[in-house]
Amino acid sequence: MPAMAEPPFSNPLFSSKISHNLKSVHCSPQAPNFIPIRYNNRVTTTTCFCSAENVDPAPVLLPHSIVFSRNPNLSSDISNRTTKDRREVVRLAWEKLVRWSRSWRSKAKTDDVLERTNKVVVLGGGSFGTAMAAHIGNRKSHLEVNMLVRDPQICRSINEKHCNIKYFPEHKLPENVVATTDAKAALLNADFCLHAVPVQFSSSFLEGIADCVDPGLPFISLSKGLELHTLRMMSQIIPRALRNPRQPYIVLSGPSFALELMNNLPTAMVVASKDKKLAKAAQQLLASTNLRISTSSDVTGVEIAGALKNVLAIAAGIVEGMNLGNNSMAALVAQGCSEIRWLATKVAEGVSTAGAVIALAQTYNVKMPVLTAVARIIDNELTPQKAVRELMSLPQGNTMNDCGYPIQGESW
């Protein structure tokens, strides 16, 4: 008899003997047999309702993508077991994460800055300053939170009605949040100072209260942007205005809206300081179940990103208003983030307007097509439609890190 041709399913992962012997398997009403099968490097026992007198009992190695069985339920059984195994792995990973998180929080409480803080002063009575004052006030009922404001009407509304009548008339502030127009009283014995005065007014404001500021008082800057006529960041403005180059400084930034903070919605931000211990202290002071705080030592990067994200937000509004679609929005965000990164890597001493940003970018020969277009639109020198056409007509890039636009330093 001529030799039998190798069957079509003779995969190297199967023994030739098993492949041939499987031809002799026939259905039988007898009691089920249990055949060991190796799957995912684990031997499991499967049920077969067929006669298997001639089947080699050695374990069969089944690849992930191949399931061979005369029993239609076998594939389903293996698939169900795989799903259960995967869910078990995910469950165990999640439980491990939760245990680690609880252990970390338990250890952190042994040296909690919040427990040692008695007074926090917030400079400014705007929306974000008010939201942060309310947030800190809710963190600890016995913590004194003083808001230094210039508007007597806002001051009275906070002290008498427990609300900021101008920005949050329907939101009640914690009882431990009070307001004053007296800088000396507000700053006396403060453990932390949150600076929430707009960038363009910060220099003159701080120069006026410099004599009341303790040289060791940590300043947490909430102000985003650049000083228009000097292109200075808050990390330069604050020590210069206070006449103290060693004034402890932290910057707080991130995608956040004051109203959502007031409504206790989940928010994530970052604090940055050249002093890692200071950044950690600010994190412990501010972090809560509703506000996640990361730490960084890149003060310049965080400040530049905080300033430029607002310019990018204007561009996003233009894309939305022109109904350019999700593809355009995704491209805008990718390109905008790249431009922010390019400028951040060039600046060592100085970047709240789009025009100020572009001026600084020109100083360091950084090409910023999207943000430059936004500045032109703001100045009414370019229509959004024409800006889109020009941006789409820029030379095609040949590297991944420039999102399709000229590499920084190249001529257009």
Told to judge if 309 belongs to the known catalytic residues of this protein, a careful annotator would answer yes
Q: Please give, one letter per residue, the 3-state secondary structure of the chain.
A: CCCCCCCCCCCCCCCHHHHHHHHHCEECCCCCEEEEEEECCEEEEEEECEECCCCCCCCEEECCCCCCCCCHHHHHHHHHHHHHHHHHHHHHHHHHHHHHHHHHHHHHHHHCHHHHCCEEEEECCCHHHHHHHHHHHHHCCCCEEEEECCCHHHHHHHHHHCCECCCECCCCCCCCEEEECCHHHHHCCCCEEEECCCHHHHHHHHHHHHHHCCCCCCEEECCCCCCCCCCCCHHHHHHHHCCCCCCCEEEEECCCCHHHHHCCCCEEEEEECCCHHHHHHHHHHHCCCCEEEEEECCHHHHHHHHHHHHHHHHHHHHHHHCCCHHHHHHHHHHHHHHHHHHHHHHCCCCCCCHHHHHHHHHHCCCCCHHHHHHHHHHCCCCCHHHHHHHHHCCCCCCCHHHCCCCCCCCCC
Catalytic residue among 140, 166, 274, 309: 309
Q: Which residues are catalytic?
A: 309
